[in-house]
Structure 1
């Protein structure tokens, strides 16, 4: 999973003829990007944020699911653990 960035830094890269850019090593490390990973670009006006695509997808999922646990009656992590244990027992009983 991506490392949490605690410091701000600036780095630049040259755009090649086909629009390709090499992501600097310190940026890849800060974002937890490895060979074969995908990146997501979020454009906001004239500013762009780049994220590890897996992290971006998880953040979107978390945003979509916000409040759903409470609606389902889960008020604590213990409630969730109890539900998981019960579901596994039911699955194993079948």
Structure 2
């Protein structure tokens, strides 16, 4: 168990073990999420944003017919040079 004390300004210092677990470094932001059961969860905001973006883009490559690096290069060539795949 890790405890943190809240300062009079509402600031906390995240214990080093938790910073390591969350992959946090100086200047990073943390996100506080409330679960439906009322529990509060602390997350690395950058990691959470990446997971959200990954979920939003899930399946898009397949819909566009992009399955490997050659397909990506063909798509880039099409955009750059107007060549069809």
Q: State TM-score, norm by structure 1.
A: 0.71
**Count of residues in correspondence between the two structures:** 80
SS across alignment from 1:69 = helix
Question: How far apart in 1 are the matches of 2:42 and 2:71?
Answer: 37
SS across alignment from 1:19 = coil
Residue deviations 1:45-88, cap 9 Å, x none? 421111111101000011111222222223x3x2xx11322215
Unaligned runs of 5+ in 1: 1-9
Larger RCO (alpha carbons 8 Å, 6+ apart) = 1
* Larger Rg, first or second structure (1 or 2): 2
Unaligned runs of 5+ in 2: none
Q: State TM-score, norm by structure 2.
A: 0.77
